Structure 1
Amino acid sequence: LTVLAAASLIANAVLARKPPPPDSTVLVTTVLLGASFLLAATGDDAVTLLAAAVLAGFAEGPQLSALFAIRHREAPADVRAQVFTTAASVKITGLATGAAAAGPLSALSVTAALSAAAGCQLLAAATYVLVKPSGRTRTPSPERAA
């Protein structure tokens, strides 16, 4: 976890000066997380597992920052706190559901569990690409920009 946190901090520090658009950041980091899970699933030595943790950290930090930026952009000011609170509740529910599914799966095979996690990330990225409304980055409406 220390490696993941340090890589996350480094990635956010590098991107802080000129952050990329949050919409594309979420897509790219989702794919990177999937790649890190695949790398961990196929790794059989400490160096490969360390590289997977670094890659996951490089993805996780910027993804969280981009997600907050998108939530801030999309949520009207008068309900923004409610949106953030509800999103946190949904995240905790998702973590619990994932842990409930991953426990039995990892008891059978850690490789299968990591591969399933990678598949979920890649499915999320594919879903985003398929349902994205347009080829350009969204900008907030004047009412939401406040």
Structure 2
Amino acid sequence: MSQLDDLYRRVIMDHYKTPRNHGKFDEDVVTVDLNNPTCGDRISLQLKVEDGIVQDARYTGEGCSISMSSASMMTEAVKGKGIQEALDFADRFSLMMKGETVDFDDYEDIEALSGVSKFPARIKCASLAWNALRKGIDAEA
């Protein structure tokens, strides 16, 4: 295993074991529930959007380390971003899952999931939270 692979594995496990933004909002917010029937991963994403800005994002759910760490990374990346910028993140993530080299200077942890593109069955795991983000933004619009 290369040093980069080891670093990426540690980043993924850090987000899995110490998730960021895990939990629920008490107030009324956009909520999207998705699941991956192939493996059983499920997520409930909540977005607090005001004036076209993702003010906050939280999630709950169950799944593999890839699915849950991706949700943690995604919620960190989109907080404080405009809706279009959040969708740009989702688009770049999709390109990365297709094996393309994508730069996430604004939140490099996401790049730790780049190796998932080599495992087609796991792409759905990594993409679950991002698909929920797109649905949540669509619901808000």
Same fold by TM-score, threshold 0.5 exceeded? no
Query: Greater relative contact order: 1 or 2 (C-alpha under 8 angstroms, separation 6 or more)?
Result: 1
The two structures have a TM-score, normalised by structure 2, of 0.31
**Higher strand fraction: Structure 1 or Structure 2?**
2
**Higher helix fraction: Structure 1 or Structure 2?**
1
The two structures have a TM-score, normalised by structure 1, of 0.30
Q: Which has the larger Rg?
A: 1
